[in-house]
Amino acid sequence: MKSPSKKPLKGVKSPMPKDIVPMAMTLAEEPFNHKDWLFEVKWDGYRAIAYCSGKNVDLKSRKSNTFNKRFSQIRNALQKLNLNAVIDGEVVCLNPEGKANFSDLM
């Protein structure tokens, strides 16, 4: 029996989103685990959102201030990747033991 052919899904072109507000951390009384939750390490750094539209990359703080000059090496690396994406992450400086060192980041 021949399976029905599936047409590929096509995305809808839309402008690059602007002013995305990242989710803030929530203080909890104690650690917990749940199958419906994902967890990540709380790094000691700067929360940043990269708006990548090809070679045009704009790094913003969670309050929408520019990080383009402060973290120009990260911006340059993202420009070379030529992505169309919005990336939410934390900019950190790690010591030789792999621990975040906020004072080195300053």
pLDDT digits (tens, 9 = 90+) for 66-84: 999 999 999 999 999 999 9
pLDDT band at 4 (very low <50, low <70, confident <90, very high): low
Amino acid at 90: E
- Domains of the chain, by residue range, sit at 46-105
| Mean pLDDT score of the chain | 87
| pTM attached to this predicted model | 0.74
pLDDT band at 2 (very low <50, low <70, confident <90, very high): low
Is residue 86 a contact partner of residue 77, using CB atoms and an 8 Å limit? Answer: no
For residue 84, give every residue at least 6 positions away whose Cβ sits within 8 Å of its Cβ, in sequence order, or none.
16, 52, 53, 54
Domain 46-105 falls under CATH 3.40.50.720: no
Is residue 101 a contact partner of residue 94, using CB atoms and an 8 Å limit? Answer: yes
